[in-house]
Every structure is written in C-alpha cells, then in structure tokens.
C-alpha cells in the first residue's frame, strides 16, 4: 500500500515535469510496473529511443526497483537480456529517499556515458576503453536494427503523448 501511494505521487510529479528525455507510463494491469521510452541525447546513443520497464517491489521504497531495457542495445552496462548495471539501484547503494525520476535520470546518464568500471559485458567494456572509435563504428552499424527513434519522433513531434497512442 505504501509503495502504491508513493509511486502514484512520484508518477504525477514525473508527468507534470514533462521532460523530453523520457516518457514513462503506469502499467494499468500492475501498478508496481512502469513502461516507457528513454531518449539519450549524447552520441552515439542519440540516434535511438529505448523502451524500458521498471518493476518496483512491494517493499518499495525500502527495496530498489529493477530496470529492464526492452529494446536491444549495444551497451557495456546493459546485457543481452536487458538487465541494467545501474549503481543507484544496487542493493548496497539504494536509499529509500531516491525517487523514480532520479532513477530514470541516472539510467539516461548511464546510456549517454557508459561506465566501463561497472560492465555487464566485459568484452564491450574492454573494447570501449581501448578503442572507443571502433566501439562507436560497430554501434552505428548496429543502430539500424536497434532503437525506437522513429516511434519517438512520430509521437513527440506530432504533439501526441506516448500514453494516448500506446497500449502495451
């Protein structure tokens, strides 16, 4: 009950803020789940929007949420299953005062600026650290099949909201 009340309050704050970097919606079938898009703004990830899912435990805010990237992404901190290595939501770093918007902003910052010191793909972290240009070339070649930028552009630039057009 505490989790649901806090999450609804946080969701309303996110909705009122109206940031262009993300659009997160409540899953009507499960109030402890949020789905939406994040839009990184730094190269090389600025060419796509990425669908995410945030699952909050019933013990939230005393336990951290789990984030899954539903869109395939070539990123050293996000594995092939979409699991994210995000320090702010790790059990040892989690603080109950941390809000959903802070978690989302941390995720966007991580996508914008990969952290080789916290990799889920060690080989990608090594490649990124040793030869960032090669990493970016591979990423650019893969981006044709990744990301959801066209969906984001259709919804964002036509003045429509994600929630009015999308039903998961």
CATH number at residue 114: 3.10.110.10
pLDDT bin (cut points 50, 70, 90) of residue 2 is: confident
pLDDT at 167: 36
Measured CA to CA, the distance from residue 61 to residue 72 in angstroms comes to: 28
Sign of CA dihedral 36, 41, 43, 47: positive
Residue reference for tokens 């650019």: 140
Instruction: Say if 163 falls within a structural domain.
Output: no
Count of C-beta atoms within a 10 Å radius of residue 22: 21
Task: Work out the average pLDDT over 42-47.
Answer: 86
pLDDT bin (cut points 50, 70, 90) of residue 155 is: very low
pLDDT at 161: 40
Distances (CA, A) of 23 to 20, 52, 57, 155: 7, 10, 21, 10
Instruction: Say if 164 falls within a structural domain.
Output: no
What is the pTM (predicted TM-score) of this model?
0.83
pLDDT at 21: 82
Its domain, for residue 38, covers 2-154
Instruction: Say if 145 falls within a structural domain.
Output: yes
Instruction: Say if 165 falls within a structural domain.
Output: no
Instruction: Say if 115 falls within a structural domain.
Output: yes
Task: Work out the average pLDDT over 2-17.
Answer: 86
Task: Work out the average pLDDT over 25-30.
Answer: 87
pLDDT at 143: 74
- Reading phi first (left if > 0) and then psi (alpha if -120 to 50, else beta), residue 82 is in left
Tokens coding 165: 């057009």
Evaluate if residue 14 carries a pLDDT over 60: yes
| More confident call, 110 vs 149 | 110
Q: Is residue 85 among the annotated active site residues?
A: yes
Instruction: Say if 168 falls within a structural domain.
Output: no
Instruction: Say if 87 falls within a structural domain.
Output: yes
Instruction: Say if 58 falls within a structural domain.
Output: yes
Identify the active-site residue in 69, 85, 132, 136: 85
Cα within 13 Å of Cα(109), Cβ side = 9
Evaluate if residue 18 carries a pLDDT over 50: yes
pLDDT per residue over 56-69, tens digit each? 999 999 999 999 99
- Provide the domain count of the chain: 1
pLDDT at 102: 96
């Amino acid at each position: 009950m505490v989790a649901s009340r806090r999450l609804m309050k946080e969701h309303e704050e996110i909705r009122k803020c109206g940031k262009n970097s993300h659009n997160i919606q409540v899953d009507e079938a499960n109030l402890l789940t949020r789905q939406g898009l994040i839009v990184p703004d730094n190269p090389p990830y600025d060419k796509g929007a990425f669908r995410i899912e945030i699952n909050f435990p019933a013990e939230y805010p005393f336990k951290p949420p789990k984030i899954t990237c539903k869109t395939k992404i070539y990123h050293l901190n996000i594995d092939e299953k979409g699991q994210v290595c995000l320090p702010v939501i790790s059990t040892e770093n989690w603080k109950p005062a941390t809000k959903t918007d802070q978690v989302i902003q941390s995720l966007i910052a991580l996508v914008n600026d990969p952290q080789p010191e916290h990799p889920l793909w060690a080989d990608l972290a090594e490649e990124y650290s040793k030869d960032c240009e090669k990493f970016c070339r591979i990423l650019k070649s893969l981006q044709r099949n990744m990301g959801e930028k066209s969906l984001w552009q259709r919804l964002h630039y036509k003045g429509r909201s994600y929630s009015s057009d999308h039903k998961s």
